[in-house]
Chain A
Amino acid sequence: MLVGSVGDLGDGTVETFEYPLEGTRNFLTRIEGAAWGGVGSDGDIVAYNGLCTHMGCSVEGLVTPEQEMAGPCSCHYTTFDLSKGGMVVSGAATTDLPQVRLEIEDGDIYATGIDGLVYGYRNNLRDGTPIEAATEE
């Protein structure tokens, strides 16, 4: 699924998109250095799910690309390392922040999957409406 454009993603930019189900919100950003799973010429473009895996609060507005971190979450203060696959730096979350797999084709950024279970779900593709289906409608 198309989620952004390399050309539009400047330093410090944080964009959001829904994937793979309606209402599953993720963020796309370019961090300071190369990241695990990062794409682009410097490997610094990453995307993650926006819900803290501790108790489900949003970390979308708490992304600091220059620090390569998300958080501390406003509920219980977990922070995630965006350069290391969403690894918890500090805090009570019991899984990493799910990382959206990205691919680049002709300057466009596509989401191709998610590593890790999104908060609230038993399976990232069940109990909701796939975003592709919504697009078709």
Chain B
Amino acid sequence: MAADNPNTSEVPIPPTGAERSTRSCRYCIVGCGYEVYKWPVGEEGGPSADENALGIDYPAGYGEWPSPNMHEIIQENGQEYHVLFKPDTEYPVNEGGSHSVRGGTQAQSLYSPNNEDYDDRLKQPQIRIGGDLVTVDWDTAIEAWARATEIATENGENPNGYGQKLYFYQFIENTFAGTKLCHDVIGSPNWGGHNRPALTTEVPGLVNAGLAQWSYAYEDAAEADTIVLAGADPKENQDVIFSKWINEEGDADIVFIDPRKKFTANYAENNGGIHLQVNEATDPILLNAIARHIVDQGWHDEGFIEEWVMDNRETIDEEGWYQEEFGLTPEEYYDLLDDSRYAPENAAETTGVPAEDIREAAELIAQPDADETNTLFMLEKGLIWGWSHENTGAMANLTLITGSVGRPGTGITRAGGHQEGFWTNGAEGDAIAERSTQTFDGEKVEGVTVPPNTVERVRDGEIKHWHVIGNDPARHSYATQDLRNSIRERTSGAQPQTADIDEIERAFRERIENGGMVVTHQELYPNTTTQYADILLPAKAVESGEGGDYHRWNGERRFRQYQGFMEGPSGAKEDWEIFSMMGQRLGADDMDWESSREIFNLIAEEYPGAGGDHSLEGIAPAAEANDMTPAEYMETVEEGVQQPIYEENGEVQGTPRIHAPDGEREVMDHRFHTSTGEAIFQRVDWDRVVDPDDGTTIGDVYEQLSPGEDEIWVTNGRLQHLWQNMYTHQRLEYVQKRFPQNILQLHPNDAADREIEAGDLVEIVNDDVLNIHGENTEGSFTAVAYVVDEDDAAQGQAVSEGLAYTYWLYPDQVNNDVNPAYLDPANPNPGYKYGKGRIRRLGESEVKDEMSFKPMNIAPE
């Protein structure tokens, strides 16, 4: 009897004539290569290598197999096509065919009118008329957007009335067009990225030390002797970095710093490393204690520090306001570490990490018996969305005291997020300097203009037309339950009663003049923000291959072309085209682009970012030498090229890693990104004053954030099956089967105290959501309890008592509703990780018998 599951019974083989294109995965920063095969339904290749486009003999061998979820049938112009998304076994990132569950199932995320799960894809522009979204034509939609912008900005007199919430990631063609619209055409400083409310760096303590956030090559993970994973778990969110570069190719001891004893914690401990199970929100103390022990033992690299770390106070002060406020000379840094708070025994009390483990980790990191320290430092959202400056600055400091940077097997890097494609024409600097209404007062500097927090400018009324593109701020901001209340109130005024453009303008004007706001939402699928949208604009899913060709880079700055291979909904448009229509309507005479390739050629030739970490300056000269356009030339660079990109002998040349020592190619004419080329230690101080008006310190805020009676910490993060707000994965059967609802990992004792068992639906309530901008607020969400019995927890409980964990952005079950409105005043990044709440059982969930509640942290021993 044959397999009879209709979804998995057979995968067709592409014939030799199948159309082949290449691209990287639509999801995470690793950027694995994929081959895409497309051929008409009704045709099929044979099982011998010479009979199929894959060039393999069936049954397929190790790493060769196209699984059922690598296949989809799409429809274009009445013709059905098979599409196969297969890991590219030749691509340097995932050579051999490694892939994650997300990348390996991305074919299933392709839009297909045959799949009812995708029926709600946005296909036509809509405007909310009389309370409901009504289909309109593109001209009406763009004109409505333009009139809302003109009203909000008082015909350009007050650009701040327009706010844009765009993605930081995606592709350079679209971010270039979008930021040009906001900063250059309209002139507004009110720009927020998809994951944070201002145009700020995610890693302030790192970049202001003169370090690059993406500085390493993946091979460094294979060559390192020690890897520090702090607030970062590649097993969960960078699968191929873990499985191929750390595990298969490498042999490093891992120092895993995380509040949870998850798979990677057990993997580290089973393989010569150590897990530092840090108490929630105490990372700066732990990282300082490790640094103190390294210095106390004399394991720090004094030669490196003397040559490459800035030691003149005046020079540091002249570097910029951030360095004046937070930069330290080596002596100042050592004095800070000398605070008794950072002695291992004292740090152990606060952080929960035994002093002997702190010392062991310090030795693993410093490698005192080695000729050179080969430690790679990796950090991500567990540090970034917390004490943003302190956590990232502490990792920068560890990198600098060990001198472990710029050589194979060393470095510091972020370890998560999207593939990157943020590009601008430079207009944002003037817009922020001239018009930002947000300033910073520190302990040393006063009145410094900083990029505005746009979420607060939605709340306080400065933004009157909010243009949201490719994200869902009503769900993934901080303290979102309260934010939604503000958005609901500000969009609840006058509404158009017909699609007549003058009636639309009348209603928008009446609403805005009464303190309200118009929301434009540019998206693929409806989400929570769509509920408040007045203008809804359907976009092409270019990251999945719809539309034209695009460019971006991955976590080792490997820059490549992504070739479009399908049309998507005919009524949707690529984001750059929508921005182009808007810009031209407002009078821009330099946005009349015809294609994404034309924008890429413009960037490569006129805005290549020369001199920076991500410089593209070699592309245009190499293209010219080959008598091609830049886009045509990049089509030939099949393996991509690592930024900064130079031209030599008529071809592009890449840069494997940043911060290489003298004698190797340097970025910005310096080894480190400061005026002198020396890096700068960062002040990481639990006693730092974050509110000069009342003297509130980091430690004080920690006390305010800490759970009270009957409450526990509720932190959040990734699950490897799920991507972001699950705009694809909530529609993908295979993934939904594993996680049909959000989960809340609970320790069995915490569960028992509340009469909760695995599979119960629970509510998490925080009636004291910290708000540094005003009165504290309330928030709540629901999830399914994930409780592992002690008998089944073969390698320990993932969460300790007093800590719960949940996926960070499950649709309709979003923990951001309980997360605090604490943002670093110097660099307004939110502390999303520091949630808390009371947990109570609502009842038995509908999925109790469908989900697996087995332990997810079993690692090889």
Contact = CB atoms under 8 A, between A and B. Distances in A.
Given A115-B5, A120-B60, A122-B12, A92 B100 contact: yes
A94 B69 contact: yes
Interface of B: 1-5, 8-13, 47, 58-65, 67-70, 97-101, 104-105, 235, 239, 243, 247, 263, 267, 720-721, 734, 737-738, 792, 794, 851-852, 854-860
Residue with the highest number of chain A CB atoms closer than 10 Å, among B11, B13, B101, B721? B101
Given A89-B852, A122-B13, A127-B58, A77 B67 contact: no
Contacts of B2: 20, 113-114, 123-125
A11 to B, nearest CB: 15
15 contacts: A76-B239, A77-B267, A77-B860, A79-B858, A90-B263, A90-B856, A91-B720, A92-B239, A92-B243, A93-B101, A113-B2, A114-B3, A117-B11, A122-B58, A124-B3
A87 B59 contact: no
Residue with the highest number of chain B CB atoms closer than 10 Å, among A76, A95, A122, A125? A122
A87 B104 contact: no
A88 B97 CA distance: 20
Nearest to A121: B59
Contact of B61 (A56, A83, A128): A56
A87 B58 contact: no
A2 interface: no
A22 B70 CA distance: 26
Contact of A120 (B58, B69, B98, B104): B58
B854 A89 contact: yes
Contact of A91 (B13, B62, B101): B101
A72 B720 contact: no
A74 to B, nearest CB: 7
A128 B737 CA distance: 31
Contacts of B239: 76, 92
A40 interface: no
Which 6 A-B pairs give the minimum distances between C-beta atoms? A120-B59, A113-B1, A94-B104, A81-B852, A90-B856, A127-B58
B721 to A, nearest CB: 8
B10 A87 contact: no
A38 interface: no
Interface in A64-101: 67-69, 71-72, 74-77, 79, 81, 83-84, 87-95, 98, 101
Contacts of A101: 1
A90 B859 CA distance: 10
A117 B68 contact: yes
A20 B4 CA distance: 13
Contacts of B856: 79, 89-90
B62 A116 contact: no
A98 to B, nearest CB: 7
Contact of B101 (A92, A116, A122, A128): A92
A119 interface: yes
Interface residues on A, range: 35 or more
B67 A117 contact: yes
A105 to B, nearest CB: 15
Residue with the highest number of chain A CB atoms closer than 10 Å, among B1, B58, B851, B854? B854
Nearest to B244: A76
A57 B738 CA distance: 22
A55 B63 contact: yes
B792 A56 contact: no
Residue with the highest number of chain B CB atoms closer than 10 Å, among A69, A74, A120? A120
Contacts of A123: 2-3, 9-10
A7 to B, nearest CB: 25
Contacts of A98: 3
Given A84-B852, A95-B69, A74 B3 contact: no
B3 A122 contact: no
A114 B9 CA distance: 9
B720 A87 contact: no
Contact of A56 (B62, B68, B70, B235): B62
Given A116-B5, A120-B59, A128-B59, A79 B854 contact: yes
A111 B33 CA distance: 39
Contacts of A71: 858
A122 B47 contact: yes
A93 B673 CA distance: 41
A128 B721 CA distance: 33
A119 B11 CA distance: 11
A118 B8 CA distance: 9
Given A55-B97, A127-B47, A72 B859 contact: yes
A50 B263 CA distance: 23
A136 to B, nearest CB: 17
Contacts of A94: 67-70, 99, 101, 104-105, 734
A121 to B, nearest CB: 5
A120 B61 contact: yes
A87 B736 CA distance: 11
Contacts of B61: 56, 120
A1 B348 CA distance: 61
A72 B5 contact: no
B850 to A, nearest CB: 8
A26 interface: no
B238 to A, nearest CB: 11
B737 to A, nearest CB: 7
B664 to A, nearest CB: 34
Contacts of B100: 92
A116 B852 contact: no
Given A69-B854, A120-B60, 19 more contacts: A20-B2, A53-B67, A67-B792, A67-B854, A77-B859, A81-B852, A88-B721, A90-B856, A91-B101, A93-B101, A94-B101, A95-B68, A116-B3, A116-B5, A117-B3, A118-B3, A121-B59, A122-B58, A126-B58
Residue with the highest number of chain B CB atoms closer than 10 Å, among A77, A81, A118? A77
B808 to A, nearest CB: 18
B262 to A, nearest CB: 9
A88 B10 contact: no
A112 B1 contact: yes
Contacts of B13: 122
Given A92-B720, A120-B58, A113 B4 contact: yes
B270 to A, nearest CB: 11
Contacts of B11: 117, 122
A20 B720 CA distance: 33
Contacts of B104: 54, 92, 94
Contacts of A69: 854, 858
Nearest to B101: A92
B172 to A, nearest CB: 29
A117 B9 CA distance: 6
Residue with the highest number of chain A CB atoms closer than 10 Å, among B10, B59, B860? B59
Nearest to B1: A113
B58 A121 contact: yes
Contacts of B855: 89
A91 B98 CA distance: 12
A125 B10 CA distance: 10
A92 B65 contact: no
Contacts of A128: 59
B475 to A, nearest CB: 26
A125 B856 CA distance: 33
A37 B487 CA distance: 49
A87 B105 contact: no
Contacts of A122: 10-13, 47, 58
B9 A68 contact: no
